A = this chain, B = another copy of it.
Amino acid sequence: MRNISDVIEQYLKQVLKESQVNAIEIKRQDIAQRFECVPSQINYVINTRFTVEKGYLVESKRGGGGYIRIRRVVLHEKQDVLSSLMDVIHEHPRLNEQLVENVLIRLVEEQMMNEQEAQLINHLLSDEALNLQVDDRTYIRRHQLLALMRVLRYRNGG
């Protein structure tokens, strides 16, 4: 293999495959030492090879006893629905309660979340909860709806 990133990628995927719980926990420094590279190389490998779109979730903790955990997840099959909704969210200059509700209803119709979850989020994004200026509400709603889309990418089967 020509570059160290590919080697590290293969190694991590091999360990992951053998793990049986679809998750591994590594110490960045250990891996860096094993492959004789700088620690930040591990971040590069993770950022380029173990992304959500490729079906991986990565969590980490710093400080004493720190770690990096990589999990294999199954992507939701309706990625197209999510991207079209993301387009909608991006294109609307104002995001009011009605638009939020429409998006949530659509997600429920597509069975990407259930009604209870939709209702919960609808409350959190209501005018009442977001006691703010209109512009700020739009800002928050946009970011939170996009965050929602990102989670839904891999839910159900992750």
8 A Cβ contacts from A105-132 to B: 113, 116-117, 119-121, 123-124, 126, 128-131
Q: Is A47 an interface residue (CB 8 A)?
A: no
Q: Which residues of B contact A146 (CB under 8 A)?
A: 129
A143 on interface, CB distance cutoff 8 Å: yes
Nearest-neighbour CB distance to chain B for A105, whole angstroms, equals: 15
Category for how many chain A residues contact B? 20 to 34
B121 and A147 form a contact (CB under 8 A): no
Contact A116 B119 (CB under 8 A): no
Residue among A124, A131, A144, A150 with max Cβ neighbours from chain B (10 Å): A124
| A129-B144 in contact given A3-B64, A65-B3, A124-B121 (Cβ < 8 Å) | yes
Query: What is the total number of copies of this protein in its complex?
Result: 2
Where the two chains meet, the residues of A that have a C-beta atom closer than 8 Å to any C-beta of B are 1-3, 5-6, 64-67, 113, 116-117, 119-121, 123-124, 126, 128-131, 140, 143-144, 146-148, 150-151, 155
Question: Can you offer 26 A-B residue contacts whose CB atoms are under 8 A?
Answer: A2-B65, A2-B66, A2-B67, A3-B64, A3-B65, A5-B65, A6-B65, A116-B117, A116-B155, A119-B155, A120-B120, A120-B121, A120-B151, A121-B124, A124-B124, A124-B144, A124-B147, A124-B148, A126-B147, A128-B147, A129-B144, A129-B147, A130-B140, A130-B143, A131-B143, A140-B140
